[in-house]
Structure 1
């Protein structure tokens, strides 16, 4: 079903809700994944957590570059400011979290600085780089909203009582705190605005990006359990 067809049936439909529907069943499988459940319960094995964090940290530099592309292509200053503030959080609080976690988990600097990339990580990075190369604000938005909205969703579903291991509890908190939720809510509104005003071809491209991102997000959680 196209977004236009959905709107004909439901005048209250949001573009981002349509994107999510196009990404099923990967959206539901990712946001309710075993990894997220064990993370929230504090039962996630340290080796699994370590593999996940090392691979996830491999994204940071490229992800910040993607935010830079969002700043460049955003049409108005308030949107540029929202992305710049989020980039500041990624390069400060979140980066510090990774470094402390690697130390606590006994992961050598040689491992986290130059990791052997899992095939899923490599494919993920290519999606981010393709969005950067595109110079397309709609393409950048479709990648960002998939990543950040899905993380907010699983984090908000975690139990209120946090795990004792800080590398689990703080990872949840980073994706459940009010400033992050406010950014994701704004990001959805921005994607709604851009997507609803786009042509059918751009809407289809955004839906395809969102769907691919959710398939990769699910596979990325799966990969943490592989040696």
Structure 2
């Protein structure tokens, strides 16, 4: 069993909870309200900026040129594709981010991920981002994108099923599995990081719903 197989198995309960989150079901059933999606866009846009710093920390810990080139490619996509998406969507939807102060759960997610990046190893960072990206790839693949009436939402889901993002998620998985081949790796520590990221993702995705009832 690879390390990522073990992580996914040991933490199946919290992963399933995220994959069946009210937000995910609302997207899949095309009942996420425009106001909820607007709030989510602001919260997620803020995290993408944090993700740039996270991968920058990962870059400083990369030992091979192959990994450095890969991370530079990721940074370029975050800065010049995903951030550009948010800038364009904010403009088109008339969203002013200042009108959406970040809730505590969103701040906790950002700071929790940033802390792993600042203080963790290359493997720790790979594990944290693997947890987040594998989860996003999985639930986005389960969404019937043709059913989504909001073109911006459909585009956002599609970003997480495009070949480039899928390849990135698999690269992170390989990096975690390679770390698992090190006999000195602290498996419990890696598993705790994986689980904590998913727990933070759950409360992060609670925030845009603001207690609204979502039909299953």
Same fold at TM > 0.5: yes
Structure 1 match to 2:41: 53
SS of equivalent residue, structure 1 residue 18: helix
Between the aligned partners of 2:35 and 2:205, the Cα distance in structure 1 is 13
User: Is 1:184 aligned with 2:186?
Assistant: no
> Is contact 2:21–2:202 with CA below 8 Å preserved after alignment?
yes
1:81 aligns with 2:69: yes
Q: Give the Cα separation in 1 of the matches to 2:193 and 2:58.
A: 16
- Paired with 1:175 and 1:161, the residues of 2 have a C-alpha distance of 15
**Residue 52 of structure 2 contacts residue 75 of structure 2 at CA under 8 Å; is this kept in 1?**
yes
TM-score by length of 1: 0.86
Spell out, residue by residue over 1:128-179, the C-alpha distance to the aligned partner (whole angstroms, 9 max, x if none).
2212221511211111111111110111111152523222111111100011
d(CA) in 2 for partners of 1:145, 1:208: 13
Residue of 134, 140, 149 corresponding to 1:155: 140
- From 129, 132, 142, the equivalent of 1:144 is 129
Whole-angstrom CA distance in 2 between matches of 1:203 and 1:32: 27
State whether structure 2 residue 195 is matched by structure 1 residue 211.
Answer: yes
User: Secondary structure of the residue that 2:12 maps to in structure 1?
Assistant: coil
Q: Give the CA deviation at 1:105.
A: 2.8
Cα 1:63–1:198 change in 2 (3 A) is farther
Given the two structures, how large is their TM-score scaled by the length of structure 2?
0.90
Instruction: Indicate if the aligned counterparts of 1:40 and 1:172 stay in contact, CA closer than 8 A.
Output: no
Q: Tell whether the 8 Å contact from 2:113 to 2:197 is kept in structure 1 after alignment.
A: no
Report Cα offsets for 1:7-53 as digits up to 9, x if no partner. xxxxxx12112112232311011123232232234321011111111
Matched with 2:98 is: 110
Runs (5+) with no aligned partner, structure 2: 212-216
Q: Do the aligned residues in 2 keep the contact of 1:40 with 1:168 (CA within 8 Å)?
A: no
Partner residue in 1 for 2:153 = 168
Structure 1 residue ranges, 4+ long, deviating more than 6 angstroms after superposition: none
Say whether the 8 Å CA contact 1:97–1:167 is kept in structure 2. no
**Secondary structure, aligned partner of 2:146:** coil
Deviation, 1:188, is 0.5
Partner of 2:83: 95
Residue pair 1:38, 1:44 contacting (<8 A) in 2 also: yes
2: CA distance, partners of 1:15 / 1:32: 24
Counterpart of 2:51 (choices 40, 63, 68) is: 63
Q: Is the 8 A contact 2:50 2:114 kept in 1?
A: yes
Structure 1: stretches of 5+ with no match in the other structure: 1-12
Query: 2:104, 2:181 → 1: CA distance?
Result: 34
TM superposition shift of 1:126 = 1.8
State how far apart, in whole Å, the 2-side matches of 1:135 and 1:108 are. Answer: 34
